[in-house]
């Protein structure tokens, strides 16, 4: 009789000790981290509950030369495959503070919840945000907006980490924010933001929020899993109108479909994959270019790990 022995050699963890002190989870499906509900696995999800832990994360990654990414509310993201490198998702306590008409919140605060907190406090200026999902940090980074208003219109101050992990707090300056973009990319992480709002009549603010909600409810497919508008509006034009006029409403790849309600929304009918969304986006882009001669630029981020 022969005996077989298996020698178990513990695999060294791929990250240094200080990074591993930051709260983290393994193998989390991106389907659970994104509003579209698709994507591979996030192998290492780091969820700091303090700014100091977030700083430890960024400093350790910078020191080790580790390529890392940051995730907000996952409402604007498609991940094609598994992500092996560390992913940062802030889990700071969701505390809103008010000083007069200044309202501050951590980046991990829900964007819609913050707009609701402003309305409840009788502060006007964030009504536009009341239907835009995701996290506050993601909204600042994208300079999110609706109905002719965007974050840079109300942003008084914000705190962020540099790619080296230094903490900076400042007021916005010209050139830092533009239509659906900001300089808060490339390893910069928004930690918190302060909006300068105006005292208003709570009933009027609530009525405005309700009107925006009703408008979105009738024009956007909010009952299905979606990632908001998929493409940016080309200057002076509407991506939704261009896609619609190209006859693409209802175009489908697997369970991913161009919404029949709003052509700039793609919806997940239940079992769509990230690859199906990417393929559908390619088809829409190609068709709009062919029909209108306009190259649509994605508003959603596509990660190809």
Any contact of residue 108 with ligand EPU (CB under 6 A)? no
Instruction: List the one residue from 233, 268, 273, 285 that touches ligand EPU (CB under 6 A).
Output: 233
Distance of alpha carbon 286 from alpha carbon 295, whole angstroms = 8
Give me the 130-169 binding string for ligand EPU, x by CB under 6 A, dash otherwise: ----------------xx----------------------
**Closest CB to ligand EPU among 58 and 184?**
184
| Percent composition of the chain: helix, strand, coil (DSSP 3-state, to 5) | 30, 25, 45
Residue ranges in the chain assigned as alpha helix (H)? 17-20, 51-64, 111-120, 136-142, 202-219, 239-245, 274-292
Instruction: List the one residue from 25, 32, 63, 241 that touches ligand EPU (CB under 6 A).
Output: 241
Give one DSSP letter per residue of 15-68, joined into a string.
S-HHHHTS-EEEEEEGGGTSTT----EEEEEE--SSHHHHHHHHHHHHHHT---
Which range, of 65-73, 162-170, 184-192, 238-246, touches ligand EPU by CB under 6 A?
238-246
Any contact of residue 126 with ligand EPU (CB under 6 A)? no
Which range, of 7-15, 170-178, 239-247, 274-282, touches ligand EPU by CB under 6 A?
239-247
Rg (CA), the chain: 21
Q: How many CB atoms within 10 Å of residue 30?
A: 27
Any contact of residue 213 with ligand EPU (CB under 6 A)? no
Distance of alpha carbon 127 from alpha carbon 78, whole angstroms = 27
**Closest among 50, 49, 32, 52 to 40, alpha carbons compared:** 32
Instruction: List the one residue from 134, 165, 240, 305 that touches ligand EPU (CB under 6 A).
Output: 240
Instruction: List the one residue from 70, 139, 299, 305 that touches ligand EPU (CB under 6 A).
Output: 299
**Closest CB to ligand EPU among 53 and 285?**
285
Residues that bind ligand EPU (CB under 6 A): 146-147, 219, 228-229, 232-233, 238-241, 244, 262-264, 299
């Amino acid at each position: 009789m022969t005996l077989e022995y298996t020698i178990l050699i513990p695999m060294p963890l791929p990250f240094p000790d200080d990074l591993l002190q930051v709260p983290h989870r393994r193998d989390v499906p991106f389907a659970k981290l994104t509003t579209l509900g698709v994507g591979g696995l996030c192998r290492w999800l780091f969820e700091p509950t303090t700014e100091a832990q977030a700083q430890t994360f960024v400093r350790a990654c910078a020191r080790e030369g580790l390529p890392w990414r940051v995730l907000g509310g996952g409402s604007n993201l498609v991940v094609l495959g598994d992500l092996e490198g560390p992913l940062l998702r802030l889990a700071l306590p969701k505390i809103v503070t008010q000083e007069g008409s200044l309202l501050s919140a951590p980046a991990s605060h829900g964007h819609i919840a913050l707009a609701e907190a402003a309305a409840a406090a009788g502060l006007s200026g964030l009504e536009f945000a009341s239907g835009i999902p995701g996290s506050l940090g993601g909204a600042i980074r994208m300079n999110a907006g609706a109905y002719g208003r965007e974050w840079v219109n109300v942003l008084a101050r914000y705190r962020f980490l540099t790619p080296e992990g230094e903490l900076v707090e400042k007021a916005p300056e010209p050139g830092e924010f533009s239509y659906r973009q900001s300089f808060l990319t490339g390893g910069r992480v928004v930690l918190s933001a302060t909006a300068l709002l105006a005292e208003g009549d709570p009933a009027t603010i609530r009525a405005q929020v309700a009107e925006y909600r009703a408008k979105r409810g009738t024009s956007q497919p909010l009952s299905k899993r979606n990632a908001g508008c998929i493409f940016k509006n080309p200057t002076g034009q509407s991506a939704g109108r261009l896609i619609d006029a190209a006859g693409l409403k209802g175009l489908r790849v697997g369970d991913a479909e161009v919404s029949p309600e709003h052509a700039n929304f793609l919806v997940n009918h239940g079992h769509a994959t990230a690859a199906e969304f990417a393929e559908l986006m390619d088809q829409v882009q190609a068709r709009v270019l062919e029909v209108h001669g306009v190259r649509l630029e994605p508003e959603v981020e596509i990660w190809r790990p």
